[in-house]
Structure 1
Amino acid sequence: MTAQRTQFDLLELWPQIPIWARELGLSQIGVTGIDLSSAEPGLQAWLAAGFHGSMDYMASHGMKRARPAELHTGTVSIITARMDYLPLGTAPDWLAQETARSLQPGEAVVSLYARGRDYHKVLRSRLQKLQERIAQAIGPFGHRVFTDSAPVLEAELATRSGLGWRGKHTLVLSREAGSMFFLGELFVDFALPETPQVSAHCGQCTACMDLCPTQAIVGPYQLDARRCISYLTIEHAGPIDEALRPLIGNRIYGCDDCQLACPWNKFAQISSVPDWQPREGLGASTIAELMAWSEAEFLRRTEGSAIRRIGHARWLRNLALAAGNALASPALSAGERERVLQGLAAHAGHADPVVQEQVAWSLAKAAAPL
């Protein structure tokens, strides 16, 4: 902090920061401190239970996730940001439409947040620009931007800074915006007034827990990632547990079911940011259409997308699994059934043994009686 900068200057600055944030497309910001020690026992228990699955980096980081000053030395305050992601043109009955998609066996369902540009890139860029505006006002300062890119307890910081409360599905919920938003943080080396926390409003509702296809929400505020469809289709690299495969249905990247079930998402906000517009092929395509993508086409269509990081082989594994579930459904039309079988047959000899095994499992579904 420069010698000329005073706490009075920073207090005068604070009302301007939310204005700059909105101009940059951020939906809401808050401020919290760096003492997260009360969150450490819960984090330790979650790791001890093995709920992080194969995400070994979560265990290797240990309690560093709850100690912001260890992530960036000199951090005094944390500016948190919410960025809504429902795209322009979202229909008023979008919740019903999205819920119905899981009942169309031949359709490939990509989680809403991943249909547009990679949120890591978009939110990081906006937060970096916010930092630059603050620096223009007060001079250079120590900082670091995070967007799900380091061991940060994002939901904990968001709730402490008043962006919302922790829902029973473990996501952050807002009375004004539901849960359809991204979170990001700007760590800074000066003190800002902390924004007040908000009260929780889940009450006795257990809709998210009741409707999770794999029952991954093992208790209120307790998620076993090893059963979560988002984890299985994105983070998990090997074969998916056969007992869970039929429960995944036609979800090929992520899962929105706990959010679609949540009553608060009737208040989810539509964003004016163009980056969230669905890319061709990711908004509404059939399993057969996406299985026909070569690796080169996959890379081309997912450039700048969060999906690209799972790679073509894992993408095919997910599609092959969805294909097997489609073949087991009597609702699949004869024509689509033939196209799905052709798509699977084309990858029966894939170089990746995980893809090979998944294709073989799915082809066996075609021979089973409906």
Structure 2
Amino acid sequence: MVNSVSDNSDEKEFWENVDTQFEEKVQDFSKTLNIAVIGKVSSGKSSLINALLKKSRKKAIADVGAEAGVTTKLKILRLDDRVRLIDSPGLDDVRSGNSDITREFLKHIDVGIIVVTGAADASQKRYLDDLREHCESVFVVLNKIDEWDKHSPLALEKVVTQWKEVLKIEKIYPVCAFGYDVDTLPGTPLDIRGVYWLREDIENFLSSKGKDLLLARHMGEKKSYAVGIIATALVAVAVQAFIPGSAVYITATQGAAIVSLSYLYTGEVLSSKAAFALLPAFASEAATTTLFLWVKSFLPPTGIIDIAAAVVATSITLAILATINSVLESGAKLEEEELLKSKFRTYRKQAETTLKGLALTDLKDLTSWKGIIEKFL
């Protein structure tokens, strides 16, 4: 994190290098994400969509009703300008939609989810094959596993095995997404089972395509995604502190994380200029450590000083990103400089206390950081 440098030419070169690193780190939010959820009427597709997006009953986005056939034909859910989700009995229904949206959707489906229920049905194989022809990745879900709760534990296992055999697949996700029906008795808790593993694998696939935040933006609960963004940045900073010219890399990492957090909470894509414009407010509150990092970043590796720099860099970065997260989560604006400074002072003290005594291996471990950040936030 850098406020200014003495020579204008040095400053220009510094920010050019930061911009280069920034472009390599930040997601391309201009991409689109298309998800198709295919399955028979009353297979529980709408409930699954709500559970997948971590929605509460009151904030459900897909209509669910107790009567069969609430979703009897193609339904297009536009989560935003970049993310579309189609809920349909099959791709034939998507094709018959005969609109610009459905034609464009069929050209590229990122994720296909086929939802089945009950006993194994070989006729579903053609829907799976059709989906595979249009999708980069397909997930098969056995929904309504609560139907087997009164049977022997082996009954569900047997059904799962049969579905694998008739569909010729290696993996199926047994899930339950009960409780979204509008006629569910008040006070009845949601029964969500198995959806976590499905969501995790979908998110891992989307992450490999640089599209995970496009979906995370629409999750009903965002803390876990914020934790992931911050933890990833801190691991990077801990490593970058040992690199000559580390100030460039650290500044770029901080900026990219700020952009990701902003998109997660607001759906707005900050420019690099807007993200970096926030950093001087923090630099003014940590002038001594900022200068230390700046000077140290142009020295050769020296062991003990590098470890100290890693602790300082991660401590400041944690305080910065915790501040950004807090402001965005509260609905306040990032332009409120005095609010940023006030929160940063508090978080900086907490960060210094939290990181005291941490080993270098902890600073470079993503799992360790996630545990620290969850408590920190």
Q: Hey, which of these two has a bigger chunk of helix by percent?
A: 2
Flag the structure with larger Rg. Answer: 2
For normalisation by structure 2, the TM-score amounts to 0.23
For normalisation by structure 1, the TM-score amounts to 0.23
